[in-house]
């Protein structure tokens, strides 16, 4: 198989060189002063990364690296260089500063425009991959395709489409009185309807499936602690998604809903706020990844009222915020795999890296926090060959900051340099000129 691929690649290369000289992939080198090797969890010094086109071809000590004459070189010798980050829980089409009432005037088309703005902010904050967990009318699929085609600027997006939930569940629009008669197609009851919802999402381009096995913080008449769906319905969703080659994640706060989701075979659980000792053991045994958003409560408690979030929802957030953080600590101690999911959209996009400091405050070493936002995210998306580390063969998704983030994790909140797929989106003029993207390059954040 490998031989076949190599032969095909050679044939392609031959075609390319026979065609036009400029079709040859661009080669560029990065000189990294300090390089965070997340695979071996160590920091290397004075490394040179060689990039061809959108992929990394080699990483080696600068002293032992000979570059062809004239290779453009990006000087990051005074910086700490890391793999681009993966946020496993965002809502690009949501803006928390749009008031609760105004949000009822947002069409899916308007939401997609908001998403384009937030995709740019996410990328410039060093997040080169984002797993978008629910949007209406496949706006997230449109954003993903828009980024891929170069229509808009953004991270690599993995889109879930709408969140599947039961009648009265977290994804149902429970704020509306019955005479308004609106219900999303993603609200389903019974295993057959649940299966059909998964098939529809795959038909319209979803990369993964999200469903809600408990109530939530921002929905009306749901309690985060109560379980939603039956095990039979949950199994139908997971089985159908896996049959179609998609991963599945469950929105779940309550201990019962978390355990039901794990029993049903989900790949990950979002929030996991009220997980109990048994749930932690089950997640560890099954290898289920928890994507715990423990920063955003700071934002909701500080700004929620100003943004028009109803009092009942602010209270729900407060009730589970501290418990969720302590449970993060317990899950970490027990050796559960934790990916870096922030629920951006509940707080402003672009502030994703603020969660690093909270992960460290609640028990992670800075290296563990960085691994959660790189390797673990790539593992959850089953794309370890493509991103999650700075290594040969992977996309050149590379970021850099001033100083030492392993000593002061908040350094990651100020990006000095952002490259995605071998193109620079943030950096100095010289860095941007060495490997320009189609977009205006942003200056380093101070």
| Sign of the CA dihedral running 376, 378, 383, 384 | negative
> Listing from the earlier edge strand, what are the strands of the sheet with 289-291?
208-212, 247-252, 268-271, 289-291, 338-339
239, 198 in Cβ contact below 8 A?
no
Tokens read off for 380? 């959850």
What string of H, E and C letters represents the secondary structure of 386-443? Answer: CCCCCCCCCECCEEEEECCCCCCHHHHHCCCEEEECCEEEECCHHHHHHCECCCCCEC
Nearer to Zn ion, 31 or 135 (CB): 135
Nearer to Zn ion, 317 or 343 (CB): 343
What is the crossing angle of helices 277-286 and 255-264, to 10°? Answer: 20
Least distance to Zn ion, CB of residue 315, Å: 19
* Of residues 114, 113, 154, the one with CA closest to residue 130: 154
Nearer to Zn ion, 172 or 343 (CB): 343
Nearer to Zn ion, 87 or 343 (CB): 343
Q: Which stretch binds Zn ion (CB under 5 A): 68-76, 190-198, 207-215, 341-349?
A: 341-349
Binding-residue pattern over the window 124 to 143 for Zn ion, x denoting contact by CB under 5 A? --------------------
Q: Which stretch binds Zn ion (CB under 5 A): 57-65, 184-192, 340-348, 427-435?
A: 340-348
Nearer to Zn ion, 233 or 343 (CB): 343
In three-state secondary structure terms, 180 is helix
Nearer to Zn ion, 134 or 374 (CB): 134
Total of chain residues touching Zn ion, rule CB under 5 A: 1
Least distance to Zn ion, CB of residue 157, Å: 15
Least distance to Zn ion, CB of residue 73, Å: 41
User: In degrees, to the nearest 5, what angle opens at C-alpha 409 toward C-alphas 370 and 437?
Assistant: 65
Least distance to Zn ion, CB of residue 196, Å: 23
Measured from each CB, the residue nearest to Zn ion is: 343
Least distance to Zn ion, CB of residue 163, Å: 8
Region for 386 from its dihedrals, namely left if φ exceeds 0, alpha if ψ lies in -120 to 50, beta otherwise: alpha
Q: Which of 172, 240, 343, 397 binds Zn ion (CB under 5 A)?
A: 343
Residues in the chain: 446
* Of residues 49, 43, 116, the one with CA closest to residue 398: 49
Q: Which residues 69-88 are close enough to bind Zn ion by CB under 5 A?
A: none
Least distance to Zn ion, CB of residue 427, Å: 31
Q: Which residues 392-421 are close enough to bind Zn ion by CB under 5 A?
A: none
> How is residue 128 annotated by DSSP?
E
Q: Which stretch binds Zn ion (CB under 5 A): 98-106, 228-236, 342-350, 395-403?
A: 342-350
Least distance to Zn ion, CB of residue 256, Å: 20
Interface contacts to Zn ion, rule CB under 5 A: 343
């Amino acid at each position: 198989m490998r031989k076949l691929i190599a032969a095909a690649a050679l044939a392609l290369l031959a075609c390319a060189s026979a065609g036009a000289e400029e079709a040859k992939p661009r080669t560029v080198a990065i000189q990294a002063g300090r390089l965070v090797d997340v695979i071996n969890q160590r920091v290397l010094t004075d490394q040179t990364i060689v990039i061809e086109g959108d992929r990394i071809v080699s990483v080696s000590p600068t002293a032992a690296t000979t570059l062809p004459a004239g290779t453009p070189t990006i000087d990051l010798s005074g910086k700490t260089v890391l793999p681009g980050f993966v946020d496993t829980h965002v809502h690009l089409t949501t803006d928390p500063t749009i008031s609760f009432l105004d949000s009822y005037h947002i069409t899916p088309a308007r939401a997609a425009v908001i998403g384009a703005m937030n995709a740019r902010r996410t990328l410039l904050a060093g997040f080169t991959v984002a797993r978008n967990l629910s949007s209406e009318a496949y706006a997230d699929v449109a954003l993903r395709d828009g980024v891929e085609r170069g229509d808009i600027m953004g991270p690599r997006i993995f889109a879930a489409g709408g969140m599947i939930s039961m009648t009265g569940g977290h994804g149902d629009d429970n704020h509306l009185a019955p005479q308004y008669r609106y219900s999303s197609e993603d609200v389903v009851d019974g295993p057959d309807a649940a299966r059909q919802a998964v098939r529809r999402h795959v038909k319209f381009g979803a990369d993964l499936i999200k469903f809600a096995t408990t109530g939530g913080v921002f929905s009306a008449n749901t309690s985060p602690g109560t379980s939603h769906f039956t095990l039979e319905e949950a199994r139908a969703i997971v089985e159908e998604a896996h049959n179609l080659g998609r991963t599945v994640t469950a929105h779940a706060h309550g201990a019962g809903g978390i355990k039901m989701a794990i029993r049903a075979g989900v790949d990950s659980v979002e929030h996991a706020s009220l997980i109990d000792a048994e749930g932690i053991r089950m997640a560890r045994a099954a290898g289920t990844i928890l994507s715990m958003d423990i920063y955003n409560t700071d934002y909701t408690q500080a700004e929620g009222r100003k943004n028009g979030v109803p009092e009942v929802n602010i209270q729900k957030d407060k009730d589970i915020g501290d418990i969720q953080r302590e449970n993060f600590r317990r899950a970490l101690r027990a050796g559960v795999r934790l990916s870096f999911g922030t629920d951006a959209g509940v707080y402003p996009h672009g502030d994703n890296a603020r969660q690093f400091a909270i992960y460290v405050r609640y028990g992670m070493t800075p290296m563990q926090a960085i691994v959660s936002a790189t390797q673990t995210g790539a593992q959850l998306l089953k794309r370890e060959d493509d991103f999650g580390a700075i290594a040969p063969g992977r996309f050149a998704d590379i970021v850099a900051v001033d100083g030492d983030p392993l000593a002061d994790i908040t350094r990651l909140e100020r990006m000095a340099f952002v490259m995605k797929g071998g193109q620079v989106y943030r950096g100095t003029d010289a860095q941007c000129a060495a490997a320009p993207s189609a977009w205006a390059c942003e200056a380093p954040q101070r």
